Chains A and B, each alone.
Chain A
């Protein structure tokens, strides 16, 4: 019994502290989803999807690259669905077998996204038939990106994440700026600044996550 390695105390205070820090970092990584999986798929979806939208439906009706009209939106939707699946699975894996306050928070936060987009769909649908195409795209993407920006800021309040707060603020600014600039420009801003912002946030959060400092 005396030789039970489990009962052995760490040899020194240094070793104890090292053990605590290593175990804490490993546990943090285990319990927090990999930020590359939570941010990067969304960043890619925006970068590519809104990028194509800009190239096909540019400012003042310009077409920078000829392609079927349905293609940009189809690509955007497929990439958004893929991002939803990838980030959802990784968050569910990190949170599995955890019960209590954070599962309630996560559930309600998930509901807030559904609520936001349900509202966007209902509001934007009503105007879709009455507006010219470029304005329809602007309406849908302006409302959707607004919801994303606000919910990132709200998420930052729940999880006390400075990076998430910065990202939500940035997306909101980019959205307002792009919207004021008008159709076409909004797609470009969302693609480069919005999608790019998500990629940067994913990278910054990943650096923290890797060290177990989330």
Chain B
């Protein structure tokens, strides 16, 4: 694996949850994209339909995720129709795994108390 994988330290329970992901709408986007197999991308309208968000709203959140380097937005052509394809980057996948692990760690910490 890459260096990035090696840097994934076991989550410290006191660590802050990634603020880019820790917002209802973006978390839902990340979960939906994490279901895709690595190397797959989803067209914008399908993602929008799955999440039930408006196009404008989804664009705003995708831009934030893209700025963080978690999501890759590729504009391409399907025949003559322009298509926007969206997928998680490797970094995004790791960030999401780390986020989930931190949530679980927080949860088990709370249960221990």
**Is B40 an interface position by the 8 A CB rule?**
yes
**Is A17 an interface position by the 8 A CB rule?**
yes
The reply to whether B46 and A100 form a contact with Cβ atoms under 8 Å apart is no
Residues on the B chain within 8 Å of A16, using CB = 17, 22, 27, 103
Residues on the B chain within 8 Å of A102, using CB = 37, 39-40
Query: Main SS of chain B's interface residues?
Result: helix
The reply to whether A100 and B35 form a contact with Cβ atoms under 8 Å apart is no
Alpha-carbon distance between A26 and B50 when the two chains are bound, in angstroms: 9
What 1/0 mask marks residues of chain B from 46 to 66 whose CB sits below 8 Å from any chain A CB? 100010000001000100000
What 1/0 mask marks residues of chain A from 1 to 42 whose CB sits below 8 Å from any chain B CB? 000011111100110110110011011101100000000000
The residue in B35, B41, B42, B107 that gathers the most chain A C-beta atoms within 10 A of its C-beta is: B35
Closest to B23 in A: A7
What count of chain B residues pass the 8 Å CB interface test? 33
Residues on the A chain within 8 Å of B46, using CB = 96-98
**Is A66 an interface position by the 8 A CB rule?**
no
**Is B45 an interface position by the 8 A CB rule?**
yes
Residues on the B chain within 8 Å of A26, using CB = 50
The reply to whether A98 and B36 form a contact with Cβ atoms under 8 Å apart is yes
Residues on the A chain within 8 Å of B110, using CB = 13
B24 in complex: contacting residue of A8, A27, A28, A101, CB < 8 Å? A8
The reply to whether A24 and B24 form a contact with Cβ atoms under 8 Å apart is no
Closest to B74 in A: A99
A27 in complex: contacting residue of B45, B50, B61, CB < 8 Å? B50
Looking at the assembled complex, report how far the CB atom of B33 sits from the nearest CB atom of chain A, in whole angstroms.
9
Closest to B100 in A: A20
Residues on the A chain within 8 Å of B26, using CB = 6
Alpha-carbon distance between A15 and B99 when the two chains are bound, in angstroms: 14
Alpha-carbon distance between A97 and B42 when the two chains are bound, in angstroms: 6
Interface residues of A (CB under 8 A from B): 5-10, 13-14, 16-17, 19-20, 23-24, 26-28, 30-31, 96-103
9 nearest interchain CB pairs?
Answer: A6-B25, A97-B43, A101-B39, A97-B46, A100-B40, A23-B31, A27-B35, A13-B106, A13-B107
